[in-house]
Amino acid sequence: MKAVRFSSFGHPLKVAEVVEEPDAALESGQARLEVLASPINPSDLLTLSGQYGSLPKLPAVPGNEGVGRVVEVKDTTAARVGDIVFLPLGTGTWRSHLVVPAEGLVPVPPGTDLKQAAMMFINPPTADIMLREFVTLQPGDWVLQNAANSGVGRYLISLAKLAGYKTLNVVRREELAAELTALGADVVLTDTDDLKERVRAATGGAKVRLAIDAVGGDSTRRLGDALATGGTVVNYGVMSGKGPKLSAEASIFKDITLRGFWLVLWMKRTPREKQAETFGRLAKLVAQGTLRTAVEGTFSLDEAREALARAMEGGRSGKVLFTPNGPV
């Protein structure tokens, strides 16, 4: 069995290595999965560098989601050889094979694009929950977001469109406008200091009450300044390397609220029934092709350095995935 492993925190290209590991013997109730696809998410890169909010005990295998095929089971009927399933969250998925409890494995809906399914359990629910659980929106309302070309940002555009919301999408590069508009974005703006004025012009002065922030620092401040009185900024990332902040105008005189979101905490606090409803609804949208994100490229585990380098580059057109056992 091959795996990407790291024994210290640091630059991903310096600490990640590909290793051979012995195949673990199955215990009663377990299944062995052949990993078919697993993405490189920003949280994975932050984990490797030691900057994420929750860090594993070292040495560890990165990777938090993906899809796999059951190749062996022991003393259980909860899964069958040949089943295509979602990999359990947070199990170190950048490896060729994974041993997990068979009970609770969730099957991938038949006919689903497996690369799209591999990216379903982190970014789509993050976008969906931030749209639903912080501000009560009505069809026709506007939502403002930065890093709109990110995985979460693209899912948010699609989910907002389905709900009838309009999106203001902030990016760093003007050339992304056509691509995001084709996806369903209503307005695409560059992240500059006159954002407040351009949001007002684009919406005709409509009250924008929800902003989604993946960047932090001054970008958060610009989002807050562009919101209507009483609005909410939801921060879920710090791509700038700086914590989110609001201006005095926003926090004092406009009563803007700054909230944080982390999917791990949501899952700890949310009843299983609601989690199942959320993931089930999103899985159907992925299976239908309604929710999808572009894939920049797929890499074997032996190409881990190339995959990580590509995932860290700016200007990508989509996500980078590991396909440890060949193309899917």
| Predicted pLDDT at 47 | 95
Domain boundaries, the chain: 2-119+293-322, 123-264
317 pLDDT higher than 80: no
| Predicted pLDDT at 9 | 98
pLDDT digits (tens, 9 = 90+) for 46-64: 999 998 888 999 999 999 9
318 pLDDT higher than 90: no
Average pLDDT over residues 288-299: 93
| Predicted pLDDT at 53 | 83
Average pLDDT over residues 89-97: 96
Q: What is the pTM of this model?
A: 0.92
**123-264 fold:** Rossmann fold (3.40.50)
Average pLDDT over residues 162-166: 98
Please calculate the CA angle 224-42-85 and round it to the nearest 5 degrees.
120
Q: Which two tokens stand for residue 250?
A: 């926003």
pLDDT digits (tens, 9 = 90+) for 231-282: 999 999 998 989 999 999 999 999 999 999 999 999 999 998 999 999 999 9
236 is catalytic: no
* Arithmetic mean of pLDDT over the chain: 95
Average pLDDT over residues 97-115: 95
**2-119+293-322 fold:** Quinone Oxidoreductase; Chain A, domain 1 (3.90.180)
315 pLDDT higher than 80: no
pLDDT digits (tens, 9 = 90+) for 4-50: 999 999 999 999 999 999 988 999 999 999 999 999 999 999 999 99
Using a pLDDT cut of 90, give the percent of the chain over it: 92
Find the catalytic residue in 52, 155, 165, 236.
52
The yes-or-no answer to whether 2-119+293-322 and 123-264 have a common fold is no
| Predicted pLDDT at 54 | 87
314 pLDDT higher than 80: no
| Predicted pLDDT at 41 | 94
Confidence of residue 316 (pLDDT cuts 50, 70, 90): confident
